Amino acid sequence: MFSRTSSNLWTNQSFVSTIGLRNEADIQELEELDIISRPPSFHTLTYFQSSLYATVLEDTISELHILEECNNPIRLTKAMKDMMVLLAQKYAVPQRTDGNELDDIDPKKLNCMEYKLQKLEDDRKYLKDVLFGTYSDLSTSRRSQYLMDQVEEVVDRNNHRQVLAEAEARNRVLRRDLNRQLRHQRNHIKSVFYDTNAVIEKLRTAVEDTDLNTNIRRRYVENFQNARTEQHLQTIRDKETKPLQNIMHYKQKADQEQRIHMEVELLTNIAINETLEKVEHWMNKFDRDMESMDLKIQKKKNQYEDMIMKVKNLEEMIKEHAKEIKSWVTFKDEREAARLQREKMNKAALAVQAWWRGLLVRNQLGPYKVVTRRPPPAAAGKKKK
């Protein structure tokens, strides 16, 4: 990013040391041509520096355009995704222009290919706009104010996102505390409800017991009166059978009392069992509800952690992609420089070889030296004869 600290790197001394000027006359000549003159303001570059910077931006914009146009699978996928919009534009169907972009986003499909392609397109568009704006600013005013504004906007946006994240964390803690208070309040209400139900059941049981006891006592009094009446009548009728009648009477009385006690005990046991069953039912329901709520909370937590990990992986992938593009550009520049150097050395070697061969031919040296031939020995023998 271009900032005030990085803008100080584009100074006259660094430019002079970069191009390798050591002569004062050459430096003065460049200053007269307004190539390495000091910029008029703190953020304004020289004409030569701004031209170099604009050239780099032109190459970058061209490479981005080539990258965007040559990626046929992504273009085909995007065309299939935007098929409904393209058909609507073809047949002049009016589109909705108002509303927020977040209204069409489904939180359950954040990792789908449609949203990934839309984000990739927006990122490329934003990068191209920044490069075009910086290039225009450099071409018109020899400044990079547009790039600085975009950097400040990104920094402000990141700060705003950080503030929102902190606010969300505070709200999450507050929501957790409120949920805990609500859970405690619910538990308190349930306990009070259980106690009230127990008191009501106890009172209802007491009323039923009182009614039963009243009926039992009434029956007991009636039976006792009947027994006494029968006893007196039997005593009047037959005094001789009085001991036997008394024995039968007291036996029936004991049986009746035993039956009454058994009925009271049975009703008491039934009421106790019903109360215990209700208490166990509500306790089991409370445990099941708490387990389901804990399970849902754990699922939401796992989903959120997975989403955070995917976002981090995407950011790392983008950074690695940018590094690969930068290394590829550097590799192409170095390869081109090496090719030019080899071509220059080959031309120089050919020139030296041609000069050396011409020198050998002109001076008749080496393999081109003139050899004087001697007469053959046979001819010399004939002359002696």
Please tell me the predicted confidence (pLDDT) of residue 144. 79
Q: Which of 271, 300, 329 is the last residue of a domain?
A: 300
Whether residue 120 sits in one domain with residue 210 = no
Q: In this structure, is residue 31 part of a structural domain? A: yes
Domain count, the chain: 2
Whether residue 130 sits in one domain with residue 45 = yes
Whether residue 134 sits in one domain with residue 1 = yes
> Strand pairing partners for 143?
44
Contact between residue 21 and residue 27 where contact means Cβ atoms under 8 Å apart: yes
Q: In this structure, is residue 364 part of a structural domain? A: no
Q: In this structure, is residue 295 part of a structural domain? A: yes
Q: In this structure, is residue 168 part of a structural domain? A: no
Displacement of CA 308 from its chain's centroid (Å): 4
Whether residue 119 sits in one domain with residue 210 = no
Domain range for 46: 1-95+112-143
Q: Which of 268, 300, 332 is the last residue of a domain?
A: 300
Please tell me the predicted confidence (pLDDT) of residue 31. 47
Please tell me the predicted confidence (pLDDT) of residue 90. 81
For tokens 């208490």, the residue is 279
Whether residue 137 sits in one domain with residue 20 = yes
> Phi, psi at residue 44, to the nearest 5°?
-90, 135
Percentage of the chain beyond pLDDT 70 is 82
Please tell me the predicted confidence (pLDDT) of residue 51. 81
* CB-based burial label for 205 (10 Å; 0-12, 13-18, 19+): middle
Please tell me the predicted confidence (pLDDT) of residue 93. 78
Segment (H or E) for 281: helix 242-363
Whether residue 127 sits in one domain with residue 197 = no
Whether residue 181 sits in one domain with residue 137 = no
Q: Positive or negative CA dihedral for 17, 22, 24, 30? A: negative
Q: In this structure, is residue 64 part of a structural domain? A: yes
Q: In this structure, is residue 162 part of a structural domain? A: no
Whether residue 118 sits in one domain with residue 2 = yes
Whether residue 26 sits in one domain with residue 73 = yes
Nearest to 118 by CA among 167, 85, 166: 85
Query: What is the C-alpha separation between 44 and 38, in angstroms, rounded?
Result: 9
Query: What is the C-alpha separation between 383 and 231, in angstroms, rounded?
Result: 200
Whether residue 120 sits in one domain with residue 183 = no
pTM to 2 decimal places? 0.36
Query: What is the C-alpha separation between 155 and 41, in angstroms, rounded?
Result: 24
Please tell me the predicted confidence (pLDDT) of residue 30. 45
Whether residue 126 sits in one domain with residue 53 = yes
* CB-based burial label for 134 (10 Å; 0-12, 13-18, 19+): buried
Query: What is the C-alpha separation between 280 and 189, in angstroms, rounded?
Result: 18
Q: Which of 245, 273, 300 is the last residue of a domain?
A: 300
Q: In this structure, is residue 350 part of a structural domain? A: no
Q: In this structure, is residue 346 part of a structural domain? A: no
Spans in the chain with pLDDT lower than 70: 1-43, 96-104, 240-242, 373, 375-385
Whether residue 133 sits in one domain with residue 192 = no
